Structure 1
Amino acid sequence: MHPIPWRAYALLAASTTLVGSYVGLSKLLVAAFPVFLLAGLRFGFAAVLMLPWLKKPAHEAPLDARSRWLLFLESFLGNFLFSICMLFGLRQSSAVVAGVILAGIPAAVALLSWAVLRERLGGRTLAGIACAVGGIALVATGRQGHGYEGETTPVGALLLIAAVCCEACYVVIGKQLTAGLSPKRISALINLWGLALVTPLAVWQGLSFDFGAPRALDWGLLAYYSATASVITVWLWMAGLRGLPAAKAGVFMVFLPISTALVGLALGEVLSTQQALAYGLALVGVWLATWPARVR
């Protein structure tokens, strides 16, 4: 039996769990700050925190043209475009349809890793991906009838599909970057690109924004959100991705809705039997995709 890369699994699970846990926090911040201004402040705070990570380690080669291009694409697709497609897609879609579409992220990662990275997809990996996608899709359909209805426009559905593609590109490009760059430096560089991309829109919204309106608590939440979303989770993800195939890493995306559900339980929400079974199915998918098979 191959040794189990427990460290990589733990890093990926921690990263996606943190992402899911601050989903509710981001909703509070959107109520206090305009969307693009919030993104600009987030990247700006994170850039200050990650200044020491920008220095090139002695063992790393200088950035070549390919690495620079991949860093730009990683930030443009995974940070900038993903956020825009997700935000405006959710505004024009019901939660049920959005959940089903976003459940396809592990499958999209596997398909792209096969096409771009030439990763071999074994039977257990494919079965795990199917369980993960099926479990999260079942969670979404299980919400029907509990106040989650809404109209889904064709544009909204297309934007969410685009968000899924962006996230798949983020994983696959990140896997390529970890071959030559440290996780900390990748995190710092793609955050700088994110700051450069969103700054014009942030300045446009900031010119008409009353910076005295947010409370001290809002600024504190913004600082925590910046450190978590742009620094800690990205670093954990890149460090875990370094030791795993991209297709297997993509399965860990199921921890995002699971952690969101746990936060909801802590806040007094009720988890239905169907949702509990669906999350269990998603976790079985993680086990199938990651537990090593016996080899001769």
Structure 2
Amino acid sequence: MTSNATLSFRGYALLACSMLLVGAYVAFSKALLPYFPPFALAWLRFIMAAVTMAPWLLEWRGQWRGLTTTNKWVLFSMSFFGNFLFTICMLFGVANTSVSAAGIIMSLLPATIALFSVWFLKERLSGAVLLAIVLAVAGVASLSLNKADAHQTFLGNALMVGALGCEAMYVVGAKYLTGSFSAKQIAVSMNSTGLLLSMPLGVWQTSQMDLAAVPLHAWLLLAVYAIAASQVAPWLWFRGLKHIPANRAGVMTVALPIASAAIGVLWFKESLTTAHVFAFICALIGVALVTRVKSKV
């Protein structure tokens, strides 16, 4: 029989791996944008993931008919915010800002999740969490006012803040969905919704492209991105939530900006400015505050 300690360790490991993948594909999506416009990239991603997830859809096809109206709306809302809208905001955001700035903005996830939990789950907002939120705002402001990073714009940072909010909705929604659905079911639902929502503009942008001119390495990176973003990362996240109390899961999202910032520096040769360091320190202090509060739950 597996001990609770082993299950907890496994759960935290799954959550961390999921967020590391998210951070990686947020960063590497910048390498895909020169070849694929944002809506085309999103649509092609959902198509590729749908092919690999087809066995999952067939496995659970008989269970979709008995869904309540509430569950249908929760699934749709989570898919809309956590998959479709997150993808669009993220792709347009990284097209207009640096990978490092995008990663640091996403490092505000734990504090944002705490705030959303107050709004949607009626959790009490403590002084420590409130301070973490103030630090989060200060960190984002330092990036927006930073003139040393020529690779970022106010629009790009604003879009990444939108992606941040969508990802927080995704995490908060998971607190409800994991009680009724499997990790595979949620992943399939999210990808299918994203595919349908992105289809009109995705078809239009794809029709304007010369697909034959896209190099092989870009297609291979797109395939890895699609599977990681739509299939592997959600499955890891929801599997991890099976073993971890939901109110602690948000803390593990700190792995996302770590991966994104590391790839920005090591792969894209970006440099960390004083504003980046200040924002990251604000985020780390916020994470420490939220972690301390969550540990008491």
Scaled by the length of structure 1, what TM-score is found?
0.77
Q: 1:119 to 1:242 in 2, by over 3 A?
A: farther
- Secondary structure at 1:18 match in 2: helix
- Give the aligned residue type for 2:110: P
1:39-62 Cα shifts (integer Å, max 9, x gaps)? 111111111111222223999993
Conserved? CA contact 2:94–2:160, under 8 Å: yes
- Matched residue, 2:21: 18
- Matched residue, 1:82: 86
- Give the aligned residue type for 1:23: V
Q: 1:5 to 1:287 in 2, by over 3 A?
A: farther
- Give the aligned residue type for 2:13: A
- Matched residue, 2:199: 199
Q: 2:174 aligned with 1:171, yes or no?
A: no
Q: 1:140 to 1:248 in 2, by over 3 A?
A: farther
1:140-188 Cα shifts (integer Å, max 9, x gaps)? 48975244464x36xx676555433322222212221111001121011
Q: Which of residues 31, 34, 43 is equivalent to 1:40?
A: 43
- Secondary structure at 2:175 match in 1: helix
Stretches of structure 1 that go unaligned for 5 or more consecutive residues are none
The count of residues paired between Structure 1 and Structure 2 equals 290
Q: 1:90 to 1:269 in 2, by over 3 A?
A: closer
Q: CA deviation at 1:72?
A: 1.1
- Give aligned-pair identity as a percent: 42
Q: CA deviation at 1:239?
A: 2.1
- Matched residue, 1:117: 121
Q: 2:229 aligned with 1:225, yes or no?
A: no
Aligned pairs for 1:39-188 within 5 A:
39-54=42-57, 55-56=59-60, 62-88=66-92, 102-120=106-124, 126=129, 129=132, 133=136, 137=140, 140=143, 145-148=148-151, 150=153, 152=154, 159-188=159-188
- Give the aligned residue type for 1:109: I
Q: CA deviation at 1:230?
A: 0.9
- Give the aligned residue type for 1:262: A
Aligned pairs for 1:255-266 within 5 A:
255-266=255-266
Q: 1:102 to 1:175 in 2, by over 3 A?
A: same
Q: CA deviation at 1:81?
A: 1.9
Q: CA deviation at 1:99?
A: 7.0
Q: Tell me how far apart the structure 1 counterparts of residues 30 and 55 of structure 2 sit (CA, whole Å).
A: 30
Larger mean CA deviation between 204-213 and 274-283 belongs to 274-283
Q: 1:56 to 1:219 in 2, by over 3 A?
A: same
Q: 1:294 to 1:89 in 2, by over 3 A?
A: closer
Q: Tell me how far apart the structure 2 counterparts of residues 294 and 82 of structure 1 sit (CA, whole Å).
A: 31
1:224-265 Cα shifts (integer Å, max 9, x gaps)? 111111111111122223444555323333222211222244
Q: CA deviation at 1:196?
A: 0.9
Q: Tell me how far apart the structure 2 counterparts of residues 204 and 270 of structure 1 sit (CA, whole Å).
A: 36
1:90-117 Cα shifts (integer Å, max 9, x gaps)? 6667889877765543323212212322
Q: 2:253 aligned with 1:249, yes or no?
A: no
Scaled by the length of structure 2, what TM-score is found?
0.77
Q: Tell me how far apart the structure 2 counterparts of residues 174 and 285 of structure 1 sit (CA, whole Å).
A: 22
Conserved? CA contact 2:19–2:252, under 8 Å: yes
Larger mean CA deviation between 184-193 and 58-67 belongs to 58-67
Q: Tell me how far apart the structure 2 counterparts of residues 219 and 189 of structure 1 sit (CA, whole Å).
A: 24
Higher helix share: 2
